[in-house]
Structure 1
Amino acid sequence: MRVSRLKLLDPDLVPTPLRERLPHSVEIAELTLNMERRRRVVLKSLMSMWGKLSNPVLTSPAERGAIVRNTLDALGGVFIKLGQLLALRNDLFPTEFCLALSDLHDRATAFPPGVARRYLEEAFGRPLESVFSEFSPVPVAAASIGQCHIARLRQGGHLVAVKLQRPDAPSMFWRDLDLFQSLLGPLSLLPSSELFNWEDALWELQDIVKEELDYRYEAAALATFRKKLRKHENIYVPQVFTEWCRPNVIVLEYIPGVFMSELLHVKETDPEKVLRWQRDNNVDLEVVGRTLLQSLYRQMFEEHLFHGDLHPGNIVLLKDSQVCLIDFGSVGRLDIDFLDSFHGYMKALAERDFETAILNMLSTSANLPNVGIDSIQAELLNAFRTWHRKTLVPDLPHHEKSVQALGDYMQPVLHRYRMSMNWSFLRMNRAFGTLDIAIQKLLPTLDHPSEMKRYQKGARKRARKKAWNVRPSVLAMIHSGAILRHREEASLALTHASSLRRVEQLGRLRFKSSLTKGEFLILSTMRAVQVGAVVLGLVLLAFWLAWQGPLPLDLLTGASESPAGSQWGLPRFAWWEGLLLLALCGKAFLSANRVVTRLHETVT
């Protein structure tokens, strides 16, 4: 990547426009902070959505997804983020439903220019003219968290994008989170609610909101990715001007390129125009597609963090087939334990070793089914082989043989066994899914296992280059041939260790599955104890009320003045005996609840 002395984008890499740039029409409205009205609107919208989804005429997952998407889109804020999380759950929902949700667009009205100027000056602690020599008061884009302005820094004269957070965003987002938390009780009563992991979803939402409401997280991510992705061929990350970044403001280099979303749209309507633009700017779309895919592999498995939202609107095309990535508000981070299993999963896919791939995938599962692990392994193996057969047919559409398509083939199996994946796996799958929107247009005949193998080869080469330290002793070993023997021995040892690891991994999964069966039995028993305690408590309460006076039917008819308990032949006991029995029932209920909670913590 050619850069200037100031480490900004080389002007020679700025491409010619693909089409005439029209000014964006962003609606401007005054800020409103009516808390109670917001709660009523949210509850009314959710109830209306539930009524539409209950319509038996609706049978298409795409139609249901469109209803949910439109509702969440209208609510904005946290509900946009919730919809994006639900779009990850292709282990629970049909693909058409998830695709409908993935089309959520976070759009909102912008706040007035005067408000924007006042909040920027408060954030910088100085007049706006002392920071920018030029500032566009009308934003070019607006979302529920913030809006973006174009400006020119007075110091250095660099053209920059200024993202300013909405003043009402923190109160609205945290209020919506509290509302969602209050809905967790009713949601947990729905069928199969345990598969959704609503508590984990709440934690994910809280984590997302915390990071997105503080732009310093995005500024730090930009600086980190800029350093790490500098080694990735043909990838560029904008410079962030940290001295002007605040919790509610971020200033970064403006990249005047062509958005991938713009190119894909023009490619559908006027392909000849795209071909002319490619020739003028020396852009090979196949090179661009492989650059993006190989970079994503490297981000995941070598950098241990990745851009989590590589949809076409976050990819900017430059000259010479170079690419700029923008919007690092959604960043995925990987812990070493999960990364080891997922790397093994992708490596096994590249080598078409589907049994090992399934073992690695199951080891990342949030919960295993209440059946032997061999049953689900056999069914998943059929799904993997179906996907593999389709990857070998060049003429098939990309959406039938992509990494996302593999999830589609697994989804019925996972759903049948009431099994769900953990959020790390889902986020990584989502990253591939968003990138697939561009890949299926750029590389329609792509064979994913072969592309993974290409990455593995490059990764080994980079690892050797990094680790290679030519010392005299190493040179002597090379000349004597000893290094070849060492490599052969190491290779045999690695193969043996891999076999042992596979056997051990299968044993752990079988043990975990057996624990799941035991958990199911104990949970059933403890829940029966809880129900029995509640029923017994209600019966005792009825007995006690019966001894205190006539039953409601006797009061209406006036049939008797004697205690109703004696008429019904109920056993008599003192008030303190009843309280003692009720206390024992409550203790049994709480004890069973503690066993259930502790069992979940132990197994998971």
Structure 2
Amino acid sequence: MRRALYRGLRLWTIARVLVRYRLDVILFTLKPLRPLSFLLYLAPWNWFRRTEGTRGERIRRALEDLGPIFIKFGQMLSTRRDLLPDDIAIELARLQDRVPPFPSDQARAVIEAELERPIEIAFAAFEDTPIASASIAQVHAATLQDGREVVVKVVRPGILKTIRADLEVMHLIADLADRYWSEAKRLRPREVVDEYEKTVTDELDLIREGANAAAIHRNFEDSHLLYIPEIIWDYTRRSVLVMERIGGLPVADVAALRERNVDLKLLAERGVEIFFTQVFQHNFFHADMHPGNIFVDATHPDDPTYLAVDFGIVGSLLDSDQRYLAENFHAFFNRDYRRVAELHVESGWVPKDTRVDEFEAAIRTVCEPIFQRPLDEISFGQVLLRLFQTARRFNMEVQPQLVLLQKTLLNIEGLGRQLYPQLDLWTTAKPFIEKWMHERMGVRAFIRNAQQHLPRLLAHLPELPMHLEKALTVEEQRAERDAALRRQILELENGLRRQSRRRNEGWAGVALLALAGLATQLEVTAWQGLAWPVWPLALFGAGILLFSLRPGPRRRARDGDA
């Protein structure tokens, strides 16, 4: 009852917000309400009010009014540019996940419940004023008993209940849209809400986030490109995450970086290198690399290092996707659109019956005008985005791992261009892709794979004759089963034919009997002097019927042979 009441109130709030920002017209695009669209002109609130802002701005402001869960949904939706018009996606990307902090006594209560000890025992010092606050959690500074400076991330109390309630409303709206909205087939609202539910639920588990951070920390342990804070596992629980506190300049504070004489060109290029290293070497990438999560260690301005936090969203690729993606990039660098089209078909990203020549022409139409511009003006992320949009016309299924990759690439490229506007991402990325192709698909890769698998193959070599004999036996058994199955099918077909013949002959006999009976009736009445005696016809019809119901010796012999 309480949940139903909450849904009703929430839907009423959503309706009010839609009316406030003149988004009520969306409701009248639904099939059942389309004939009633004239009511928009009869609504009093539409008589004197003017529309302020573009549709993208109004949608963004509506989500901000609906609260943090809807803000986060809008942020996720902004990454699905394969589904949204550009103007709406750009506005949604401006959503800021800034939420007032919850009281420190609630944070203390959550921490003490999770750690099963008082704050004063767990920490030598704990700052009640949070240093950051978002929709899911907020962060406090603290000091461990051994003197290490840490940050404590605490999940908002009761947030799970709020998320579940709002998700129910989102699912209800998605179901209605899927049923009545003409654009639902293309935008797939149910699938979008399902994806958001998985993402936001994963972010609630801080142990999972800690594991992600530890994996990336281990991958870059000996690298000067990126540093990931250490997770303090003794203090980490599902709703509490404690990690090493890092210093550094926000990556978006370009003025401060210039004051420290940081090499911005090198910093921008290293951001690209970090991305391709994570995607193609580690196959595990930080998928939420917006400026709020990235800092710069400017201790050595000529050798700057990135610092990253917040690992609730990560991504990885299947080996096949990784290989096909690398080959796609390589083909793009060489403007080999035919190979790009073939790779999409081979990988299963588009249906197997796709005309490669038509797909190639569509890709060339999109990409060739872009490549006429200077390389440092070409957005790598936008090219990838347009490629996916073009592939959608050929019924390309959306790959969630590729959507995360596209989002991360757009973040990295935007970050790099903000630091160094002349960043030539193509020149920076091409050697990396070529090296990966050479290592994974060249002669060295063949030799390395052979060396890797040779011991296992040699171990099974003595068993090879036995396996061959077993394979031959299995093949013979399969051939016998196939022959038996063919005989059964043939017998079944013959039986069906016999039944059909008997049924047809039987009906023929019945027809003759009916004809004979009709003739007899006519003979008895009007045609007594003119008609033939019809009792022979009746006997003949009965004989035909009996013959059709019981086959003779010749037919029985033929059926038996069959």
In the superposition, the TM-score normalised over structure 1's length comes to: 0.62
Distance 1:103 1:413, change over 3 A: same
1:289–1:443 CA contact under 8 A, matched in 2: yes
1:364–1:425 CA contact under 8 A, matched in 2: no
Give distance in 1, aligned partners of 2:226 and 2:62. Answer: 37
Tell me whether 1:443 sits opposite 2:420 in the alignment. yes
Tell me whether 1:181 sits opposite 2:158 in the alignment. no
Secondary structure of 2:62 counterpart: helix
Specify the code of the residue in structure 2 equivalent to 1:453. Answer: K
Moved more, 215-224 or 313-322: 313-322
Secondary structure of 2:109 counterpart: helix
Shift of 1:169: 0.7
Tell me whether 1:315 sits opposite 2:294 in the alignment. yes
Distance 1:72 1:314, change over 3 A: same
Which of 365, 381, 387 is the aligned partner of 2:364? 381
Tell me whether 1:66 sits opposite 2:57 in the alignment. yes
Secondary structure of 2:241 counterpart: strand
Secondary structure of 1:247 counterpart: coil
Q: Deviations over 1:381-426 (max 9, x none)?
A: 121222222243x5xxx4xx11123146557756766766432222
Which of 149, 156, 181 is the aligned partner of 1:159? 149
Secondary structure of 1:199 counterpart: helix
Give distance in 2, aligned partners of 1:136 and 1:221. Answer: 26
Specify the code of the residue in structure 1 equivalent to 2:334. Answer: E
1:387–1:405 CA contact under 8 A, matched in 2: no
User: Which structure has the bigger radius of gyration?
Assistant: 2
Task: Identify unmatched segments of 5+ residues in structure 1.
Answer: 1-33, 268-272, 475-604
Shift of 1:310: 1.3
Give distance in 2, aligned partners of 1:448 and 1:329. Answer: 27
Equivalent residue number for residue 98 of structure 1: 89
Distance 1:422 1:346, change over 3 A: same
1:234–1:323 CA contact under 8 A, matched in 2: yes
Equivalent residue number for residue 499 of structure 1: none
Which of 109, 124, 134 is the aligned partner of 1:118? 109
Specify the code of the residue in structure 2 equivalent to 1:87. Answer: S
Equivalent residue number for residue 41 of structure 1: 13
Q: Deviations over 1:302-322 (max 9, x none)?
A: 222211121121111002311
> Superposed, which structure 2 residues align to 1:259-338 within 5 Å?
259-261=250-252, 263-264=253-254, 267=255, 274-278=257-261, 283-318=262-297, 319-320=299-300, 321-338=304-321
Shift of 1:230: 2.2
> Superposed, which structure 2 residues align to 1:1-400 within 5 Å?
35=6, 37-46=9-18, 48=20, 51=23, 63-154=54-145, 156-188=146-178, 189-261=180-252, 263-264=253-254, 267=255, 274-278=257-261, 283-318=262-297, 319-320=299-300, 321-361=304-344, 372-392=355-375, 394=376, 398=377
1:391–1:447 CA contact under 8 A, matched in 2: no
Give distance in 1, aligned partners of 2:20 and 2:284. Answer: 39
1:309–1:330 CA contact under 8 A, matched in 2: yes
1:195–1:418 CA contact under 8 A, matched in 2: no
Distance 1:219 1:409, change over 3 A: closer
1:77–1:172 CA contact under 8 A, matched in 2: no
Secondary structure of 2:140 counterpart: strand
Tell me whether 1:429 sits opposite 2:419 in the alignment. no
Aligned residues: 418
Shift of 1:196: 1.7
Specify the code of the residue in structure 2 equivalent to 1:434. Answer: N
1:92–1:415 CA contact under 8 A, matched in 2: no
Shift of 1:70: 1.8
Give distance in 1, aligned partners of 2:121 and 2:238. Answer: 20
Identity %: 24
1:83–1:104 CA contact under 8 A, matched in 2: yes
Task: Identify unmatched segments of 5+ residues in structure 2.
Answer: 27-39, 452-562
Secondary structure of 1:404 counterpart: helix
Specify the code of the residue in structure 2 equivalent to 1:89. Answer: R
Specify the code of the residue in structure 2 equivalent to 1:164. Answer: V
2:268–2:423 CA contact under 8 A, matched in 1: no
Give distance in 1, aligned partners of 2:85 and 2:239. Answer: 38
2:350–2:394 CA contact under 8 A, matched in 1: no
Shift of 1:327: 1.0
Give distance in 2, aligned partners of 1:202 and 1:316. Answer: 31
Moved more, 327-336 or 76-85: 76-85
Distance 1:38 1:163, change over 3 A: farther
Which of 420, 439, 453 is the aligned partner of 2:430? 453
Give distance in 1, aligned partners of 2:53 and 2:382. Answer: 16
Give distance in 1, aligned partners of 2:421 and 2:431. Answer: 17
Shift of 1:236: 0.6
Specify the code of the residue in structure 1 equivalent to 2:373. Answer: K
Shift of 1:38: 4.2
2:154–2:241 CA contact under 8 A, matched in 1: yes
